Amino acid sequence: MRRHRAVLIALSTLLTASLTTIAAPASAAEPGQVTGLTVRQADGFATLAWQPVDGATDYQIERTPVDAAGTPTGTATIVGIWRPNRQINQESPTFADAGFNPGDRFQWRVRARFDTTEQPYSEPVAGTTTAPWGNPDVPGEQLRTQWETTHAAQYTSDTEEYAYTAAIDELSDRVRVVEIGRTVKNRPINMFVIGYPTPPATPEAVAATSPAAVNCNVHGNEPGDREACLIMARQLAFSTDPRVIDLLSHTTVLIVPTINGDGRAANTRGNSTGQDLNRDYSLIRQPETAAYVNMVRQYRPVAGYDGHEYGNSRAGDLPMLPPRHQNVAQPIFDESMDMIEGHMYTKGAEDGWWPCPYGCDGGGNVGLGEETILRNTLGLKNVVNSLLELRSSGGQTRPDEGNAANNRRRKTFSALWTFQQFLDYHRASLPDIKQARAESITFQAANTGRLVFRGSRPITAHPAPHPGSSPPPIDAPPADLILDNAPCAYRLTEEQYHGARTDGPTGAVTTAAERIADHGWKVIKVGDSYYVPLNQPERGLIPLLLDGQGVENLVDGERIYPTSTGRHTGPLTVTGFACLDDATVTGPVTVRSGAALVTTGTTITGPVNATGAAGVLLADTKITGPLRVTGTTDAVSLIDLTVTGPVDVSANRTDNQPLLVGNTVNGPLACAGNTTAPTNLNISNTVTGPRAGQCATL
């Protein structure tokens, strides 16, 4: 079972985390006194750890500013409360103290409480906290954000972000900054593309490295994660830490600091039209969300995080939630849960942070299955991912966050910890992530099982002995939002596909055709109709936008059911739109010029030959005999086929990439002269014969 791995891979230390752990001097303990207190410094926080006291209800963490000689220079303050629900394991309590000026020196003590009765304090430990990352004398490393230089009094403005971003781009060979789009008000939306020694040159080459993506700031009034992203970009660009070199040697990191630049500038949740962008990632009415979806199509991140802040003061430090729309394939949901509960909960217990399910204590009606939310959109696009919240206030376990700058620091450095952990998780778990993705893509393309228009997979509470937090609401799909009999395709009229729309910013409203292209779905035009088959990698998302029952849909497309099921013996000639599902064909199949063939769960004995077809989308199908697809005009997709015989995909004229994904070919595979080179979406084909031409490395 992937979800609760017993053994977690040992990971390298956090960037700049001191390997030195400072321990309090040993002395004979009084009854009830905490012993074994240690402190370990990392980026913007200090991890306190101690031996538990039998019978303790909770612990208080006290911090005092001190000088180099250990003399207090300020007042002692209770800055933390450790409670059992902060941590999945109880035998090794830890607390990440944050909310101070990085680089300052402190002394800490911890005491247990029995109910409310305070026990003696531990012996103190002292340490100098880690200064803002980067040697001030080393070019590149010396860059600082506006947030850092103002001691968190100001967030980094748009112009400061662009200057900082440009400086990193200029000074680091590892970084390429690309503009993935513009906001409604024409602000550039930048993305750091970071690899070692240099990032791959094209989106397709980046995609081949199974990149990890962080979306830092979709709600403009939640800027904490964005500052963490800007700091992490500098670390990745210039750090010589072996962990960073190793990470960037194996993958590419994609960081979008500000998808909602207009909202950030105005400090509003939505963009400049008032649209909540995190309710728009499926519909992509706005240029900001369209830019992100376009990026995902081109760069194909396999894992992601999406940063937010959250007002529930009873929540943990770091509420997290996986994609849970029920159309998200099970392996993606499972792997996302593993990332959160397997990795983050475990590492949180080591480092003293408190990740928890979104909602946590008294979560209310949050964390549901809207496909308009990036978390769910990405899941439906087969990306392992999580939402991240930074609890806005100090909450129940951080009683001294009245100082606004210190509150901001705790939020940003907890986000930085999470994003660094996310990259470590990606590095350690990439085989699992890729397997989950491959299984999900083939599952989706097979177009089997019911469709749910809205509703979530359940998330259960973390198992005992964790005394933990309450999970988010069940959010099961109601009966009227379940479609047991999935269609083969949706048919759109010319008006639906290309017609003018009104749902978007004035003067910049896109058509359904443009949005479908942004998502990367294959469309076949036959006669006057546009067909969007469901046997595609994003099958679970298609009906949410194209079915009349979709809660927030794009058009009321017509459901097209299979035209053939069961046995067919003798030659089969396809004219118009044909869909075979759960069919057995014995005899040659010929797809005529301008026609379309879509198959799932089908066995064909006999050659399959499509010449000049509008579209050929075959998935989860067995073919005995040569398969030849040539001269296709609109779309070619071959996913999870078993072909006994040669496969030839040549001279197709599609403007989008032909897909050859996860097929088994007992014979040669040849591709030549396709207008757009085919891709395997990084899911290899198994080919016993030679591979030639554009398919040589697929």
Distance of closest approach, residue 545 Cβ to Zn ion, in angstroms: 23
Selected from 54, 91, 115, 137, the binder of another protein by CB under 8 A is 137
Measured CA to CA, the distance from residue 162 to residue 194 in angstroms comes to 17
Contact present, 45 and 101 (Cβ < 8 Å): no
Considering only 87-95, 146-154, 333-341, 620-628, which stretch makes contact with another protein by CB under 8 A?
146-154
Residues 685, 678: Cα–Cα separation, whole Å: 12
Phi, psi of 470, rounded to the nearest 5 degrees:
-75, 140
Residue 149's binding partner, choosing from Zn ion, another protein, none, with beta-carbon cut-off 5 to 8 A by kind? another protein
Segment interacting with Zn ion (CB under 5 A) among 41-49, 217-225, 491-499, 672-680: 217-225
Q: Which of 160, 204, 361, 514 binds another protein (CB under 8 A)?
A: 160
Contact 217, 259 (CB under 8 A): yes
- Name the nearest CA neighbour of 593 among 553, 550, 631: 631
Which tokens belong to 229? 């992203």
Q: Give residue number: closest CB to Zn ion.
A: 308
**Which of 40-48, 164-172, 434-442, 512-520 is the region at the interface with another protein (rule: CB under 8 A)?**
164-172
* 14: nearest Cα among 418, 468, 576, 433: 418
Residue 268 interacting entry, from Zn ion, another protein, none, C-beta within 5 to 8 Å by type: another protein
CA distance linking residue 453 with residue 458, whole number of Å: 16
Q: How far is the CB of 211 from another protein (least distance, A)?
A: 24
Q: Which two tokens mark 479?
A: 């009966």
| 410 near Zn ion, rule: CB under 5 A | no
State the maximum Cα–Cα separation within the chain, in Å, rounded to a whole number.
Answer: 93
Please give the size of the binding site for another protein, defined by CB under 8 A.
57
Distance CA 127, CA 105 (A): 6
Q: Which of 143, 178, 180, 541 binds another protein (CB under 8 A)?
A: 143
Contact 189, 181 (CB under 8 A): yes
| Amino acid at residue number 45 | F
Q: Which of 40, 86, 219, 437 binds Zn ion (CB under 5 A)?
A: 219
Residue 142 in contact with another protein, rule: CB under 8 A: yes
By the rule CB under 5 A, 375 interacts with Zn ion: no
- The rounded distance, in Å, linking the Cα atoms of 615 and 634 is 5
144 forms part of the interface with another protein (CB under 8 A): yes
Q: Residue for token digits 């009084």?
A: 30
Q: Does 552 bind another protein (CB under 8 A)?
A: no
Give a three-class secondary structure readout of 216-235: CCCCCCCCHHHHHHHHHHHH
Cβ proximity to another protein, 58 vs 552, nearer residue: 552
Single residue of 22, 76, 405, 483 touching another protein by CB under 8 A: 405
| Site for another protein contains 166 (CB under 8 A) | yes
- Chosen from another protein, Zn ion, none, partner binding at 551 (C-beta under 5 to 8 Å by type): none
The stretch among 10-18, 44-52, 132-140, 670-678 that binds another protein (CB under 8 A) is 132-140
Stretch that binds another protein, among 131-139, 334-342, 483-491, 565-573 (CB under 8 A): 131-139
The answer for residues whose C-beta is within 8 angstroms of residue 216's C-beta and 6 or more apart is: 225, 226, 228, 229, 255, 256, 257, 258, 259, 307
Shortest spacing between CB 537 and another protein, in angstroms: 27
Q: Which of 86, 174, 176, 308 binds Zn ion (CB under 5 A)?
A: 308
Q: Is 404 in the site for another protein (CB under 8 A)?
A: yes
Distance (Å, whole) CA 407 – CA 393: 7
Does residue 16 belong to the site contacting another protein (CB under 8 A)? Answer: no
Residues from 196 through 255 that contact another protein (CB under 8 A):
219, 221-222
Q: Which of 8, 11, 23, 167 binds another protein (CB under 8 A)?
A: 167
Say which residue the tokens 């980094």 belong to: 156
Count how many Cα atoms sit within 13 Å of the Cα of residue 507 in the half-sphere of its side chain. Answer: 3
Which of these ranges, 145-153, 213-221, 295-303, 462-470, lies near Zn ion under the rule CB under 5 A?
213-221
Grouping H, G, I as helix, E, B as strand and the rest as coil, residue 342 is: helix
CB of 335 to another protein, least distance (A): 22
- Based on CB atoms, which residue is closest to another protein, 150 or 330? 150
Spatial contact of 383 and 306, defined as CB atoms under 8 Å apart = no
Residue 484, contacted partner among Zn ion, another protein, none, CB below 5-8 A by kind: none
The interface partner of residue 267, options being another protein, Zn ion, none and the CB cut-off 5 to 8 Å by kind, is another protein
- Interacting residues with another protein between 300 and 359 (CB under 8 A): 308, 310-313
Residue 245 CB contacts under 8 Å (≥ 6 apart), including other chains:
196, 239
Beta-carbon contacts of residue 346 (< 8 Å; ≥ 6 apart): 8, 88
**Stretch of residues binding another protein (CB under 8 A), selected from 35-43, 204-212, 360-368, 598-606:** 360-368
Which residues partner with 636 through β-bridges? 616
If one counts every other C-beta atom within 10 angstroms of the C-beta of residue 422, the result is 24
Q: Is 437 in the site for Zn ion (CB under 5 A)?
A: no
Q: Which of 93, 270, 316, 323 binds another protein (CB under 8 A)?
A: 270
What burial letters (b/e) apply to 291-317, b meaning 16+ CB within 10 Å? bbbbbbbebbbbbbbbbbbbebeebbb
Q: Which amino acid would we find at residue 551?
A: V
Which spans of this chain sit near another protein (rule: CB under 8 A)? 136-137, 139, 142-144, 146, 149-155, 157, 159-160, 162-164, 166-167, 170, 219, 221-222, 265-270, 272-274, 276, 278, 308, 310-313, 362-368, 387, 389, 392, 402-405, 408
Binding site for Zn ion (CB under 5 A): 219, 222, 308
